[in-house]
Amino acid sequence: MVITVFIVASAMFFLLHAIPGSPAIAILGTNAPLESIEQLNRQLGFDRPVWDQYGSWLWNALHGDLGFSLSQSRGVGSAIADFMVPTLLIAALAMVLSVLLAVPLAVHTVSHPNSLLSRLLLFVSSALLAVPGFWLALVLVLVFAVRINAFPVSGYVNPTEDFGSFAHHVFLPLVVLLAYQVPLLVLTLRESLAGELLNAYARTARAKGAAEREVMYRHLLPNGFLPTLTVLGSNFGHMLGGVIILETIFSIPGLGYLLSSAIGSRDYNLVLGITVFTVVITILVNLTVDLLYAVLDPRVRSGR
């Protein structure tokens, strides 16, 4: 985990400093006198060699200090703490809802493989995986927010203040996230359950008179869900990145909104801080998924 965070943060640091321009130009403007730009760069420490700046940033980051945000006029950690709640909440909701929707759909396609509904589900799932998320978001905004005026085109409401208004504002972003996540989980879980059906314990359960629903949910699903759990964990980074992009489209005050502002103002410390934060969250989710294997599969606990 530490090595991964170190590599990603270091790569992002040097990529940011390789971009032409400087934070001083973003602050003073392109028409500012060269003397003023150079003076501000000296004050901010951007006139030092890149490796010197990198060493200072890395040393401070190892001690929990991600630096000062020029665009927010406060510490990077404080800015992230204020903007991270909408991003993490929407990503967590999308994960939970995707599982709740994907499991019964996948079970139905395995239990009734030749039904019209199962074939339609597989066709729609394959089609949705090919649809770009940002394009779908723009289409939903055009249809449901602009034409029909059924949902707000932008904004965010804290769920502790008004849950109904919160759900109304995040409905379209959640639909965009679920449009990719649910089909992915349905196809993955379907293949896994179809493989579990060939095992002897499934035939034994049916021979003992167990109902098809009991065979699927009690016997097959615990074993068949393990590959899906891996996909869910590894895809969390993609989902988190999707939330960050959608926040820009729907003007949600989360990490995406903050990141967009930081990039526009060349706030290097804030961009690096958000990058490190999202990488750490993604790695922790994958670690949690690995640990859940031992909870769901007794063979992992016994080491067999």
Q: Examine residue 53 and state whether it is found in any structural domain, yes or no.
A: yes
Q: Examine residue 160 and state whether it is found in any structural domain, yes or no.
A: yes
Q: Examine residue 177 and state whether it is found in any structural domain, yes or no.
A: yes
Q: Examine residue 219 and state whether it is found in any structural domain, yes or no.
A: yes
pLDDT digits (tens, 9 = 90+) for 211-244: 777 777 777 787 778 888 888 888 887 788 888 8
pLDDT digits (tens, 9 = 90+) for 193-212: 888 777 777 778 777 777 77
Residues 6+ apart with CB under 8 A from 87: 240, 243, 244, 247, 254, 255, 256
pLDDT at position 101 is: 93
Q: What is the DSSP code (8-state) at residue 113?
A: T
Q: What is the DSSP string of 216-227?
A: IIIIIHHHHHHH
Confidence check: pLDDT of 293 > 80: no
- Number of domains observed in the structure of the chain: 2
Same-domain pairing of 55 and 135 = no
Confidence check: pLDDT of 297 > 60: yes
Confidence check: pLDDT of 295 > 80: no
Q: Examine residue 188 and state whether it is found in any structural domain, yes or no.
A: yes
pLDDT digits (tens, 9 = 90+) for 13-65: 898 888 776 777 666 766 777 777 778 778 777 778 889 888 988 898 888 88
Same-domain pairing of 46 and 91 = no
Q: Examine residue 229 and state whether it is found in any structural domain, yes or no.
A: yes
CB 25 within 8 A of CB 41: no
pLDDT at position 302 is: 62
Whole-angstrom Cα distance, residue 89 to residue 95?
Answer: 10
pLDDT at position 301 is: 63
Same-domain pairing of 35 and 91 = no
- On average, the pLDDT of the chain sits at 84
> Which of 83-92, 126-135, 144-153, 201-210 has the least mean pLDDT?
201-210
pLDDT digits (tens, 9 = 90+) for 84-106: 888 889 988 998 999 999 999 98
Confidence check: pLDDT of 292 > 90: no
pLDDT at position 299 is: 64
Q: Examine residue 97 and state whether it is found in any structural domain, yes or no.
A: yes
pLDDT at position 178 is: 92
> Domain containing 8: what range?
2-65
Same-domain pairing of 190 and 255 = yes
pLDDT at position 212 is: 72
Same-domain pairing of 110 and 186 = yes
- Say which residue the tokens 């003023």 belong to: 36
Same-domain pairing of 101 and 224 = yes
- Say which residue the tokens 């030092």 belong to: 48
Of the candidates 167, 163, 170, 153, the residue with the CA atom closest to the CA atom of residue 87: 170
Q: Examine residue 76 and state whether it is found in any structural domain, yes or no.
A: no
Same-domain pairing of 136 and 240 = yes
CA torsion through residues 233, 234, 237, 243, sign: negative
> Of 36, 65, 94, which one is at a domain's C-terminal end?
65
Same-domain pairing of 178 and 269 = yes
Report if pTM > 0.75: yes
Same-domain pairing of 125 and 180 = yes
Same-domain pairing of 102 and 40 = no
Q: What is the DSSP code (8-state) at residue 217?
A: I
Same-domain pairing of 158 and 127 = yes
pLDDT digits (tens, 9 = 90+) for 165-196: 999 888 999 999 999 999 999 998 888 888 87
Whole-angstrom Cα distance, residue 37 to residue 40?
Answer: 5
Same-domain pairing of 60 and 121 = no
CATH number of the domain bearing residue 216: 1.10.3720.10
